[in-house]
Structure 1
Amino acid sequence: MLGEYTNLLVPVDGSEQADRSFKQAVAIAQRNKAKMRIVFVMDNRNVTIAPEYTPLHANDFQTDYDTSFMDDYLAYGKEAGVDIETTITNGNPMSLIADSLPEEYGTDLIVIGSTGKGAVTRALVGSVSNYVVKNAKCDVLVVRK
């Protein structure tokens, strides 16, 4: 590591891969005494895969999706002594994680899992981690295992 990171952004989705990337980020935050923000972005792009598909509306997002894993991550990070905050939002995860959120939070390192829960979406519109690696203006660590 060439420099010290002070502001980490860690996108999570409740998957095992996200759990591994989160724990890696906690270790990095501890070593660097860095702040850490974990984010869950509910993808609300209109990807129709079945006639029954109904696009997500902002109000549905707040009530219909289990985001309790965010509380677990927050507790784990605080117990590890990390200055940690959470953000839950909806939108296009690619642009939010690569562009908007790092700019808003002054991120100097994004720690992201190589895969997540969105296998169908990834096949149709591309991998979020791949997009982030190619487009982020800060360093990106992709956690594979």
Structure 2
Amino acid sequence: MSGSVRILVGVDGSAGSEAALRWALREAARWSAATDGTGRGAAPMVTALLAWTADGLPHGVLRAATQANPDGLVRAATEMLERSIGRVGEPSGPVTLQRAVVREDPVTALTAAAANADMVVVGERGHGPLHRLTPGSISQGIVHHAPVPVVVVRPATDGETPETDDRRPVVVGVDGSDLSLAALRWAAHAAAVRGVPLRVVHAWGGYDPMYSEVLVGAQGLLVRQAEDVLDQAVKLGLDAAPRLIVESVVSPDSAMRALLREGREAQLLVVGSRGHGGFTRLLLGSVSHQCVLHADCDVAVVRSGELPVRAEEPAVTLA
């Protein structure tokens, strides 16, 4: 396993973006610790990127805009980024933190920079030219367009401090589609570096109520089919899984309802960007969209099967 994961974080001076930066630094440290310092390649790298434009500037940059001084604007943006890093703190372990200030709208800048990253991390909401349109519209834009997995981090509630030893599981939704299997593999690595169980959820409900009588008569068959889908997904998706405990959940609810419920007791919810079967309508903007908007925990949306690491031979324990 390699510890040289590359994490890109969108920072704009908001509390939400600083929560995202804090999450990314902890995640990079986890990847490094999981290799016991023996991973191949360079140390994990976190890039904190602040993107700004003349329209909808972050507040700190806006104050300097009246000077009509491009160099002053860049300095103001750089200072804002440094203040955010100062509040979050420099990485304590073998993690490299890079800074980037880009004159571009956040979605465009982060999507372009994501080509050289293994994942993108953003806050649930923040400042910027889009924040006045729809809550979380920047994070939604990144989720829609980034070519790599995107993690949307929930801000801490008042008085809440991040848990240093969070034992809650990582939850992932599967339906047998290729992208849900990619999400399953990604979630397995996330659970492994945390040393927590992986909870795999397949939901077979959500059928039209007008067919309720047919549904009742076929319920036994539907449950067996759902169990088969889940078993096959675990077999295929965890063929190269690290050592971890896997908990299987078959739910008669709709995909969205089942995932939001399981997310209440999770530290991270992982979904594919689209799927089929029990996750029908999981076209980004439906189930995955609703999870990003409404889940109680952090949410990762996975687009491809690419993983920045190779795990050891599987040693999966089903619970």
Q: Which TM-score tier does this pair reach, normalised by the shorter chain? A: 0.7 to 0.9
After superposition, residues 25-104 of structure 1 pair within 5 angstroms as 25-46=187-208, 56-57=215-216, 58-65=219-226, 66-67=228-229, 68-72=231-235, 76=239, 80-98=242-260, 100-103=261-264
Shift of the 64–109 alpha-carbon distance from structure 1 to 2, 3 Å rule, reads closer
Find the aligned partners of 1:83 and 1:63 in 2 and give their Cα distance: 23
Find the aligned partners of 1:91 and 1:142 in 2 and give their Cα distance: 21
Q: 1:143 aligns with which of 302, 310, 316?
A: 302
CA deviation digits over 1:33-72, x for unaligned, max 9? 1211001001333177xxx9x8533323223454231451
Instruction: Structure 1: state its 5+ residue gaps.
Output: none
RMSD (CA atoms): 3.2
Instruction: Structure 2: state its 5+ residue gaps.
Output: 1-23, 28-165, 305-319
Shift of the 111–140 alpha-carbon distance from structure 1 to 2, 3 Å rule, reads same
Aligned-residue offset at 1:117: 1.1
After superposition, residues 4-23 of structure 1 pair within 5 angstroms as 6=167, 7-23=169-185
Letter in 1 for 2:268: L
Q: What secondary structure does 1:20 align onto? A: helix
Letter in 1 for 2:293: K
Find the aligned partners of 1:121 and 1:27 in 2 and give their Cα distance: 26
CA contact (8 A) 1:47 1:121 kept: no
Find the aligned partners of 2:221 and 2:178 in 1 and give their Cα distance: 25
Letter in 1 for 2:203: V
CA contact (8 A) 2:181 2:237 kept: no
Stretch deviating more after TM superposition (63-72 or 134-143): 63-72
Partner of 2:85: none
CA contact (8 A) 1:10 1:37 kept: yes
Find the aligned partners of 2:191 and 2:246 in 1 and give their Cα distance: 9
Letter in 2 for 1:27: H
Letter in 2 for 1:72: K
Partner of 1:112: 271
Q: What secondary structure does 1:111 align onto? A: strand
Q: What secondary structure does 2:296 align onto? A: coil
Find the aligned partners of 1:121 and 1:55 in 2 and give their Cα distance: 19
Q: What secondary structure does 2:246 align onto? A: strand
Q: What secondary structure does 1:22 align onto? A: helix
Shift of the 34–63 alpha-carbon distance from structure 1 to 2, 3 Å rule, reads closer
Q: What is the aligned length?
A: 137
Q: What secondary structure does 1:18 align onto? A: helix
Stretch deviating more after TM superposition (56-65 or 130-139): 56-65
Percent of aligned pairs with the same residue? 26
Letter in 2 for 1:11: G
Letter in 2 for 1:69: Q
Shift of the 74–20 alpha-carbon distance from structure 1 to 2, 3 Å rule, reads closer
Which of these two proteins has the greater Rg computed from alpha carbons?
2
